[in-house]
Amino acid sequence: TQLAHYRTLHNWFFPSLSVSPAADPAVISPQDPTLLIGSSLVATCTVSPDFPLKAEDLYWTLNGRRLPAASYTALGPSTLSVALARLNGSRQQSGDNLVCHSRDGGILAGSCLYVGLPPEKPVNITCWSKNMKDLTCKWAPGTEGETFLHTNYTLKYKRRWYGQDNTCQEYHTAGTYSCHIPKDLALFTPYEIWVEASNRLGVAVSDVVMLDILDVVTTDPPSDVHVSRVGDLEDQLSVRWSSPPALKDFLFQAKYQIQYRVEDSSEWKVGGHRRCRGTARGGRGSGCSHLVPLQVVDDVGNQTSCRLAGLRPGTVYFVQVRCNPFSIYGSKKAGIWSDWSNPTAASTPRSERVAGGCDPKGGEQNTTLRRELKQFFGWVKKHAYGCSNLGIKLYDQWRVWLQKSHKTRNQVGKEP
Amino acid sequence: SPTGDSWGIFTFLCAALCNLPALPALNCSEELGAGQSIQQTYDLTRYLEHQLRTLAGTYLNYLGPPFNEPDFNPPRLARAERVPSATVDLDLWRGLTDNARLAANYRAYSRLLCYLRVLDGQVGTAELRHRLAHFCASLQGLVLSIGGVMSSLGYPLPAGPAAPPAPPGAPAAPNDFLKKMDDFWLLKELQTWLWRSAKDFNRLKKKVPPAVVTLRLEARGF
C-alpha cells in the first residue's frame, strides 16, 4: 500500500499541487495531552480568522476513523468540539492522531493523544560479570510491557556507603531490557543496583539489588574442545578441552560440565563435574539400556579431559563443555556457568564382527541374563587384559549353537 | 544485468590500454574510474530506494493512521520547505549541466541525511532506531559516492558541508502532530529524490564514459 502511494508521485516532473499556507489553518486544544487509560477528553478545534470556514464545515477523525457527529458540539462560529469517553490505550507509541478536517477532507490541525498507564517497578534484576572486568545486568518490565506509552529504562548503580550514583550508558547489549557497564568497577565491595522506569505518566523504581562483582563471575566457555575415540572401544569417547585463558590470571579454579547427545536426538545428557562423576544412560530400549559409570579424570595441567562411556557403537555424538569459576580469590561460592562451547562431534567405532551388539534382533537380546553378561564382558575388557576374545558375541554364538543342538535333546545336558 | 555493458567496455578499454607497449604501467582502475563510479552510484540509489520502502513502511506504521494510509496527502506547510524538493520543471531538468545535476543531488542528500539523523535521535522504538541508523549509513555512502563522481570529473564539491545543524532560523515543529507531518514529508521527499537520482545517473552514464576518459589520458601526454 505504501508502494502504491509513493507511485502516485512518479510524475515528479510536475510541481506539487498542495497549497502552502503561511499560518496554521486551525488550532486544537489540548495540544498533545497525556491521559490515563479510561479517562475522557473534550477537544476543540478553532479555525484561524484568515480562513473562511465555519464550525459546521468541520469534522474529526481519530487514527483515521471519522468520529460520530453526535459527539460534536459547536462552541462558537468557528470552533467545534468533540467529546471522547473512556479512552483506550494509545494504538501506537507515537500517540493517537486526533485530526480536525475541513468538509473536503483537508487536514486543518492535529493533536497527538498519549493514553496509557504509568510504569510498574522493573523486576528480576540479574547481573553477571565476564572475568571480573565488567557488569551486565538485565531486568524485566513490571507489567508485561504494555503501558502503551514509550517507557525509558535507566540502570543505576553505586558503591554502598560511597554516595555517588552512576548511570549505565550502554543499553540493549543482552536483549531489550539490559545494560552493560564496561569499566571502573571495584572488587571486594558491595554495589547497589536498581532500574528506574519512566514514561509520560510517571516513574517507578525497582527494588535495590546488592551484590559484589565477585559473586557473579562467569567466564568464556572452554576452548579447543576435542572429542576422539578411545582406541577400538565402541562405547567410549574421550573429550579434551582447554580452560579458558582468562582463568590463568584470576586465582580461581574451574569446574566443568559436559553434555552430549546422539546425532538425531534433541535430548542432551549431562555428565559430571571436574572429575567426571555421574552416570549416563546409553542407547534407547534396544538391549542397551543399562547404567554405566562414567570414566574419569585425566587432569593434565591446563588441559582437562573426560571419558564418556556407555555409548552406542557406530553412532555420531555431539559434545559440548562449559565452565564455572569457583573459589574466586578464596571465596567459597561458585560463579555462574559459562555458555556451552560450540558442539564438537565424533563417532564411536563399529566393529564389523559385532552382529548382535545393540541392534534389535529378537527377543532373547533383551533378557536380563544377556544384559548382565554383556556388562560382565565389558568389565572384563577393561580390567583383565588378554581376554579380548571374550565377549558377548561368544555368548551369542553359544546360544545359536545351543538352539541347533536342541534338536538332539538327549545331547543338551552333556554340553559344557 | 544492467552492469554488464559497462563492465564490458571497462575491461576492453583496460586491456587495450594496458597492452600498448609504449605506455608505462597504468593503474587501470583509477584512470577509468568515472564511468564505473557513476554506475555504482546508480546502483546505490536503487538499493536505497529498496531499503527506503521497508523503512518508510515501518516508520509510517509507527506514526499511525492516517499517516500510513495509501492515499494520505496532507498539506505541505511553509515550514516543510526546508527539505530540498526533487520536483523540478521537465525542461529545466533536461537542460541541467552535468555539474549542476550532480551538485543538486549532492546538496539534497547531504541535507536529507542531516534531517534523518535528527530523526534517529528522537524516535521511540529500538527497531526503528536500528533501521534508521542502517539507512543513514547507506545514505552517507551515497553522498560520498556522488562526491567521488564529481571529483573524478573535475567538479568542485558544493560549498556547505554534509552536516549543517538544523538551520537556526527555522524552528523545530511546534507540536507533535506537525512534527509527524514533517517526518512524513521528509520520507516522501527522500523517495522522490531516489527516483529522480536514478534518472539523473542514467543520463550521466550515457554521457560520461569513455569519451572523458580518453581525453584525460591525452591531456597527460601519453
| Torsions phi, psi for A177 (to 5 deg) | -100, 75
Distance CA(A136)–CA(A157), nearest Å, equals 12
Which residues of chain B have a CB within 8 Å of the CB of A64? 65-66, 69
Q: Do A97 and B53 touch (CB under 8 A)?
A: no
More confident residue, B165 or A297: B165
Q: How confident is the model at residue B45 (pLDDT cuts 50, 70, 90)?
A: very high
CATH 2.60.40.10 fits A26-116, yes or no: yes
DSSP B137-181: HHHHHHHHHHHHHHHHTTPPPPSS-S-PPSPSSSPPPSSHHHHHH
Q: What is the grid cell recorded at A337?
A: 556457568
Using an 8 Å Cβ cutoff, are A108 and A100 in contact?
yes
Disruptive mutation site among A67, A92, A96, A199 for chain B (greatest number of B CBs within 10 Å):
A92
ipTM value > 0.90:
no
CATH 1.20.810.10 fits B28-165+173-205, yes or no: no
Q: Which residue of A has its CA nearest to B93?
A: A13
Least reliable range by pLDDT among A98-107, A274-283, B74-83: A274-283
Which residues of chain B have a CB within 8 Å of the CB of A176? 126
Strands laid side by side in the A237-242 sheet: A223-229, A237-242, A303-308
Q: How confident is the model at residue B16 (pLDDT cuts 50, 70, 90)?
A: very low
pLDDT tens across A28-51, in order? Answer: 999 999 999 999 999 999 999 988
Distance CA(A46)–CA(A406), nearest Å, equals 109
Distance CA(A76)–CA(A96), nearest Å, equals 26
pLDDT of residue A353: 56
Least reliable range by pLDDT among A106-115, A222-231, A286-295: A286-295
Q: Does A16 touch chain B (CB under 8 A)?
A: yes
Residue A6 clears pLDDT 70, i.e. is over it: no
CATH 2.60.40.10 fits A123-215, yes or no: yes
Q: How confident is the model at residue A320 (pLDDT cuts 50, 70, 90)?
A: confident
Q: Does A32 touch chain B (CB under 8 A)?
A: yes
Instruction: Give the right CATH number for A223-273+292-348 from 2.60.40.1260, 1.10.620.20, 2.60.40.10, 1.10.10.410.
Output: 2.60.40.10
The domain locations on chain B are 28-165+173-205
Nearest to B184, CA basis, from B113, B83, B40 = B83
Q: Does A63 touch chain B (CB under 8 A)?
A: yes
> Which residue from A13, A32, A93 is facing B125, i.e. has the nearest CB?
A93
Give Cα separations from A372 to A287, A365, A375, A376, A382 (angstroms).
11, 11, 5, 6, 16
Disruptive mutation site among B51, B60, B69, B73 for chain A (greatest number of A CBs within 10 Å):
B73
Residues of chain A with CATH 2.60.40.10: 26-116, 123-215, 223-273+292-348
More confident residue, A303 or A119: A119
Q: What percent of chain B has pLDDT over 90?
A: 40
Query: pTM of the prediction?
Result: 0.68
Q: Do A110 and B77 touch (CB under 8 A)?
A: no
> Which residue from B64, B86, B87 is facing A63, i.e. has the nearest CB?
B64
Q: What percent of chain A has pLDDT over 70?
A: 75
CA distance B64 to chain A (A): 6
Nearest to B55, CA basis, from B193, B179, B195, B188 = B188
**Mean of per-residue pLDDT scores for chain A:** 78
Q: Do A61 and B126 touch (CB under 8 A)?
A: no
pLDDT of residue A197: 95
- Is the link from the previous residue into A30 a cis peptide, with omega within 30 of 0? yes
